[in-house]
Chain A
C-alpha cells in the first residue's frame, strides 16, 4: 500500500534540524548590506492618458479664460462666443454658466487627484506615503 501511514510517520520524524543559533541575526546583517531592486519603469497606457487629459484640460481652461477676458480669439472661439451669447441670453446671464463650469472643473480636479492617489499607492516603486 502506497498510503501506508508508517511512511508518513517516518518522513515526518526524519531529521528536522534546529535552526543554527544566530541565524536570523546573521541573515539580517547580510540583508542590511544589500539594497532592494526597484522594478524597471514600465510605461502604461494611463501614464500617457493622464498627461494628455491634464494638458487638454488646462488648455481648455486657458482658452475659455482667454475667451471670457477677450484676450484670445481664434476663429472657432468666435463661433463659440456667438453660441455663448445665445446661451447666456437664454439662461439669463453669465453666472449660472460660470458656476456650472467652476463646479465641473472642481469635480474633475478632485477625481483626478483621487485617481493619482490610487495610482501612486499601487505602484511599488513609489515610496511616497499618502
Chain B
C-alpha cells in the first residue's frame, strides 16, 4: 500500500468521504472485474461491487490500519460473492488440499508468448466454462498479482485449497490447449 493510499485509509477511517472516494477510484476496476468474473452479469456485478464499497465504508472505523486494505476489501467482495452464489464456497471447501501441486511461482507470461486468435478464443471459451470457484481464484492470482497466501486470506480458505484450485484450473486449460493442438 502506497503512503498516499495509507493516508486515504486513515482519513476514511475518520469519516472523510473524499478520501474514501479516492480508495474507490483505485480499487473499483478490479473489484468490478472480480465480481463480473464470478457472477457473469454486468448489472449484478455493478450492484455487488457497489455493495462491497458501501459495506467497506460502514466498517471503515473497524479496519485495522496494520492490515492490508486491498486484502480486506477483496475479502468483503468475496464474501458477497459467497452470499450470491452459495455453491461457490461449497466448491472451494470441497477441493482436496493434498492434491499433487506443481504450480509456477510466477504468473507473468514471458514476452513473445503470443497465442493465435483461434487458440485464444478456445481458451477464453474454456475459462467461461470453468467453475466459478476456479475463475475466482485465477482472477485473484492473475489480475491482481496476489500471492497464494493473500488469496487464501481473501477467500478464507486454507493455502492448500487455494493452490489446488489454481492447479486444477490450469490443468483444465492445459488440456484445452492439448485438445486444440491435436485437432
Contact = CB atoms under 8 A, between A and B. Distances in A.
B171 A23 contact: no
A2 B104 contact: yes
Contacts, number: 128
Contacts of B58: 34-37
Nearest to A23: B28
Q: Is the interface of A mostly helix, strand, loop or mixed?
A: loop
**Contact size range, A:** 35 or more
Interface string A84-108: 0000000000000000000000000
Say what secondary structure dominates the interface of chain B: helix
A1 B32 CA distance: 32
Given A4-B174, A36-B58, A13 B120 contact: yes
B173 A20 contact: no
A71 interface: no
Nearest to B114: A9
Given A7-B174, A11-B138, A12-B109, A2 B103 contact: yes
Nearest to B65: A124
A27 B28 contact: yes
B170 interface: yes
